Amino acid sequence: MSQTRQLIDLELEKGAHNYHPVGVVLARSKGSFLWDVEGRRYIDMMGAYSTASLGHCHPQIIKTLVKQAKQLDVTSRAFYNDQLPPWLALLTELAGADKALPMNSGAEAVETALKLARKWGETVKGIPADRCEIIGCEGNFHGRTLGLISLSTEPQYRAHFGPLLPGMRTVPYGDSRALERAITPRTAAFIVEPIQGEAGIRVPPAGYLRKAQALCRKHNVLFVVDEIQTGLARTGRFFCHQHDEVNPDLVILGKALGGGVYPVSAVVGRGDVIGVFQPGDHGSTFGGNAIAAAVSMKALKLLSDPDLMARVDRLGQWAQAFLKERLQDAPVVRDVRGRGLLIGVEVAPEIGARCLVDELKTLGVLTKDSHGVVIRLAPPLNIRKKHLRQALEAVTKVVQKARVPVS
């Protein structure tokens, strides 16, 4: 039996079956490449859901991690540390925000934003106690905590986990009229992804975010943007919402914020909103620890490079044009869409994307499907163009030859 099979079988025997990974066991990484336990090299077109935006084992990130780990690690927020204050200063400066609140995972950061919205709704807007409403979008993915699945429209995420939180409402994504109809005097916040990643790289209509922000301003509702997957240069801007020239009240960050090596997330935004928290309202043992702050500072400095963002913008436009040209006559393709280096190739549901993803693995390209019908393409932002081309040629090869089964 191969080492790959042995390790997969052991995980299936001893671990919970809450994931369905592609059948490869990874053992090493560097830059835009991953190696499995058998020594085979792959081009990474997944980017760990945008976490590995700087590539794997970036030398400056690793150097910072090791140096800080040897000096000061985790002391909790019971004390100040010398890394968190400069990290807060840098992040708020880059975000054009007043304050930032550090956490660990993206889901924790979203929960933090929703707690802020609820307390702001009661203490500032004057919504009666326990009556706040939060509006999200159909197809959203903000995480899988009990609070966040209460806002989800994916049946599997909600089934058998009730009772769910009250006051959570959803409207069709990209529909500003539906949003306006849904807002009531009890609405504290509207939360939206500028591109829905897990839903299949869904890009809203032009002008949608501006209309949504205007409605929130009109009705005194917090405009909250989830940039966990789309932020930090992924779409060719520091934040994806900057394409639409909006100014959210709160922005939620994660994934790439930790440089690909450490879990770091944050909520950044208005000081009067984040300021509703008082000592004891919220917290995190690991959030804002010295290692997290040091690693994230280095990641922020690298990801905020204007030359990197300009390159991502150019490379993304080239990649989409390449795919659209090569796949324009492919019988199974339904759409090619995205922004920057966050691109989705939607295929006919009759064939599905998982079998194509599995075939890409045999060609030395690793990625994952979204919602069963979209091939997700989100490589490290510093991938060399020749390696991106190799990966896209593999994608076009497997998609072009795919055929919808004849019933």
Alpha carbons 61 and 112: distance in angstroms, whole number: 27
Q: Has 82 been annotated as catalytic?
A: no
Integer CA distances (angstroms), 57 to 16, 45, 392, in order: 28, 16, 23
Half-sphere exposure of 110 (CA within 13 A, CB side): 29
Q: Has 125 been annotated as catalytic?
A: no
Q: At residue 183, what are phi and psi to the nearest 5 degrees?
A: -70, 135
In the beta sheet, which residues pair with residue 250?
224, 269
Q: Has 161 been annotated as catalytic?
A: no
In three-state form (DSSP H/G/I as H, E/B as E, the rest C), the secondary structure along 217-253 is HHCCCEEEEECCCCCCCCCCCCCHHHHHCCCCCEEEE
| Max Cα-Cα span within the chain | 66
User: Can you tell me whether residue 355 is helix, strand or coil?
Assistant: helix
What crossing angle do the helices spanning 84-95 and 290-303 adopt, rounded to 10°? 30
Question: Which one is catalytic: 119, 125, 211, 255?
Answer: 255
Question: Which one is catalytic: 226, 244, 313, 369?
Answer: 226
Count of CB atoms situated within 10 Å of the CB of 303: 23
Alpha carbons 213 and 225: distance in angstroms, whole number: 10
Tokens of 140: 């959203």
In the beta sheet, which residues pair with residue 187?
133
Count of CB atoms situated within 10 Å of the CB of 4: 16
Question: Which one is catalytic: 33, 141, 223, 239?
Answer: 141
Interior CA angle at 130 toward 125 and 133, to 5°?
65
Cα 290 to the chain's mean position, in Å?
Answer: 23
Give catalytic residues, as residue numbers: 141, 226, 255
